[in-house]
Amino acid sequence: MKFPRNSKILRSQFDFAPFAAVFFLLLIFLMLGMLITTPGVSLQLPVADDLPGTAAATVGIAVDASNRLFFDNQMVDERQLKARLHDTVRSSREQLTLVIHADRSVTYEQLLRLTLLARDPAISITNILLATLPSATATPATK
């Protein structure tokens, strides 16, 4: 059975103007999307190579350039940090490692205070690491 053809082949010139308009709109949306800031703490971590990591469970603290403390993406003071670390360690089934994400401008004194806070007998975190960035020229170690 032969069906009648109702469609006609396009014989006019193809118009690129609508496609160009859609392309430029997509380009504008992508450019505007890059301007949207992502939430979080702005840190400039120090650069170091060949530092040990950990495969154990970790808990992280962030310290920005203004010495503000962040735990679980919330700003806390030292008293709140101590209580929340205590709760986290108590609820964990294994030994935790504290990873301190500290800005470059954070003083050694502030890092020492956080270390001593974590080593408090009520919290008893003994493994403490400082988060760093690898250098741009670092090559991955081959085994």
Confidence of residue 143 (pLDDT cuts 50, 70, 90): very low
The pLDDT of residue 139 is above 70:
no
Confidence of residue 138 (pLDDT cuts 50, 70, 90): low
The mean per-residue pLDDT over the stretch 42-66 comes to 86
- Please indicate, yes or no, if residue 74 is contained in any of the structural domains: yes
**Residue 140's pLDDT is what?**
59
Structural domain for 87, as ranges: 58-130
Strand order in the sheet with 69-71: 74-76, 69-71, 58-63, 97-102, 127-130
Three-state SS at 1: coil
- Please indicate, yes or no, if residue 73 is contained in any of the structural domains: yes
Three-state SS at 40: coil
CATH code assigned at 76: 3.30.420.270
**Residue 101's pLDDT is what?**
93
Residues 6+ apart with CB under 8 A from 133: 45, 46, 47, 48
Take residue 56 and report the two structure tokens written for it.
């154990």
The structure's pTM equals 0.67
The total domain count for the chain is 1
